[in-house]
């Protein structure tokens, strides 16, 4: 089997399992307990926080561990917007891009539905990029927060985050970025990026599902979403997932080593794969930006097919990939991300995403490109009506 769905999730790395294991078994204490087992757990949690902070270029106190990317996004979007409006009732708008993950989009819609905020959506160009001009046009004196993702999960387009963050912050508006897909491939130095908040998720990086973190700069105001015992400096109550935090910190540290070289290597393989697919499949269209894209994502539309049928055919040939994002899979609706790029709904239904981890090889991708040619050919042959008028 060739696994080309790493943007959905990754297997847990052996080093990560080994690092977390002691905190599940022997050293199982509660970090809030005042005895030696509790102290050991608190020390492990502090160590994980420091390691995560090193990877994010921030102070340990600026890292909040969460149950994953979704919670980190919810905490940033709702938490910052609600806290800012509590301090100034005039701040009742949030700005997001048209290609956000549902964790950000739905958090903004919740603010609109239940808290009377207005949501301003910044459009993207045909490659999925947000321009500085488009963001500038969306900013208002009432804007409480801007949230624009670092890299898109469906088409891999990478946004000019440092420039967009500078623009928002010049108007005194906190800037959050969802870096769930960027982590492991792009620099995560929050100081260089100039962001106020940044979300990451462990299971995209070789840690288990169900853990993530939110970087929150210095005194950025935040209304917690989970109330209780005041853990995580009151930002996120609940007994901490010590083993999960250790796993996330270990995975973050591992992916940081040799990251630029690994990213360049995988980007080269990705480009060869894209070329092979475009050359081998008549009518195939690359979605997303041709160069400002994640090294790990190659995404296409194959007009005259349905994405789901191509997916099934590819799986029969031993290639595992996705017909869009894992969250949208199984839905009949065309992907809102592809629609935002101006892709016709009927074409958007033919989307297939291939996403790689760092272990992918040229031989695997050559085999996968052959499989794509065969799979698209057989789906088109099976149902010629799918070809449509063109």
* Chain contacts with ligand PLP (rule: CB under 6 A): 68-70, 73, 101, 103, 149, 153, 178, 180-181, 201, 203, 212, 326
Distance in Å, CB of 16 to ligand PLP, minimum: 15
Helix/strand/coil for 192: helix
Nearest residue (CB) to ligand PLP, 97 versus 181 = 181
Phi-psi region of 66 (alpha: psi -120 to 50; beta: other; left: phi over 0): beta
Distance in angstroms (rounded) separating the CA atoms of residues 275 and 82: 46
Distance in Å, CB of 379 to ligand PLP, minimum: 26
Is 199:54 a contact under the CB 8 Å cutoff?
Answer: no
Distance in angstroms (rounded) separating the CA atoms of residues 133 and 138: 9
Distance in Å, CB of 154 to ligand PLP, minimum: 8
Distance in Å, CB of 202 to ligand PLP, minimum: 7
In terms of Cα–Cα distance, which of 49, 55, 64, 54 is closest to 197? 64
DSSP state of 186: S
Distance in angstroms (rounded) separating the CA atoms of residues 24 and 233: 23
CA distances from 291 to 159, 268, 352 (A): 11, 11, 19
What are the DSSP calls for 271-284, one per residue?
HHHHHHHHHHSTT-
Query: Beta 143-147 vs 93-97: how paired, if at all?
Result: parallel
In terms of Cα–Cα distance, which of 30, 199, 12, 16 is closest to 101? 199
Nearest residue (CB) to ligand PLP, 120 versus 178 = 178
Pick the catalytic residue from 58, 301, 321, 327.
Answer: 327
Q: Quick check: is 327 catalytic?
A: yes
Distance in angstroms (rounded) separating the CA atoms of residues 178 and 153: 10
Distance in Å, CB of 38 to ligand PLP, minimum: 28
Nearest residue (CB) to ligand PLP, 73 versus 196 = 73
In terms of Cα–Cα distance, which of 232, 132, 117 is closest to 175? 132
Nearest residue (CB) to ligand PLP, 29 versus 212 = 212
Nearest residue (CB) to ligand PLP, 203 versus 235 = 203
Distance in Å, CB of 212 to ligand PLP, minimum: 5
Nearest residue (CB) to ligand PLP, 49 versus 203 = 203
Nearest residue (CB) to ligand PLP, 8 versus 41 = 8
b/e burial code for range 219-235 (CB count within 10 A of at least 16 → b)? ebbbebbeeeeebbeeb
Distance in Å, CB of 69 to ligand PLP, minimum: 3
- In the complex, residue closest to ligand PLP by CB: 69
Helix/strand/coil for 188: coil
Which are the catalytic amino acids? 327
């Amino acid at each position: 089997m060739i696994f080309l769905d790493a943007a959905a999730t990754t297997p847990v790395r052996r080093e990560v399992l080994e690092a977390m294991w002691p905190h599940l078994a022997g050293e199982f204490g509660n970090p809030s307990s005042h005895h030696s087992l509790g102290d050991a757990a608190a020390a492990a949690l502090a160590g994980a926080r420091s390691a995560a902070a090193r990877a994010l270029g921030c102070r340990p106190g600026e890292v909040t561990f969460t149950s994953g990317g979704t919670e980190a996004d919810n905490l940033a979007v709702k938490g910052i917007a609600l806290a800012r409006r509590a301090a100034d009732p005039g701040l009742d708008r949030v700005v997001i891009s048209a290609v956000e993950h549902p964790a950000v989009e739905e958090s903004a819609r919740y603010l609109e539905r239940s808290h009377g905020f207005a949501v301003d959506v910044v459009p993207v160009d045909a490659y999925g990029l947000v321009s500085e001009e488009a963001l500038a046009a969306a900013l208002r004196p009432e804007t409480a927060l801007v949230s624009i993702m670092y890299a898109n999960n469906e088409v891999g387009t990478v946004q000019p985050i440092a420039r967009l963050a500078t623009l928002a912050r010049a108007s005194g508006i906190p800037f959050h970025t969802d870096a769930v897909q960027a982590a492991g491939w792009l620099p995560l130095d929050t100081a260089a990026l100039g962001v106020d908040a940044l979300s990451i998720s462990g299971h995209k990086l070789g840690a288990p599902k169900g853990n993530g973190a939110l970087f929150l700069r210095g005194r950025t105001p935040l209304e917690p979403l989970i109330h209780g015992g005041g853990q995580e400096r009151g930002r996120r109550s609940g007994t901490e997932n010590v083993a999960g935090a250790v796993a996330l910190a270990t995975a973050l540290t591992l992916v940081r080593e040799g990251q630029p070289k690994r990213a360049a290597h995988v980007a080269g393989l990705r480009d060869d794969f894209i070329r092979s697919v475009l050359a081998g499949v008549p009518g195939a269209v690359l979605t997303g930006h041709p160069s400002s894209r994640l090294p790990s994502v190659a995404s296409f539309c194959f007009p005259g097919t349905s994405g789901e049928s191509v997916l099934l055919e590819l799986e029969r040939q031993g290639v595992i990939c996705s017909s869009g994002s894992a969250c949208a899979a199984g839905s009949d609706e065309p992907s809102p991300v592809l629609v935002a790029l101006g892709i016709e709904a009927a074409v958007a239904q033919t989307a297939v995403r291939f996403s790689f981890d760092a272990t992918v090889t040229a031989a695997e991708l050559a085999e996968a490109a052959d499989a794509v040619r065969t799979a698209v050919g057989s789906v088109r042959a099976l149902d010629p009506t799918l070809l449509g008028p063109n």
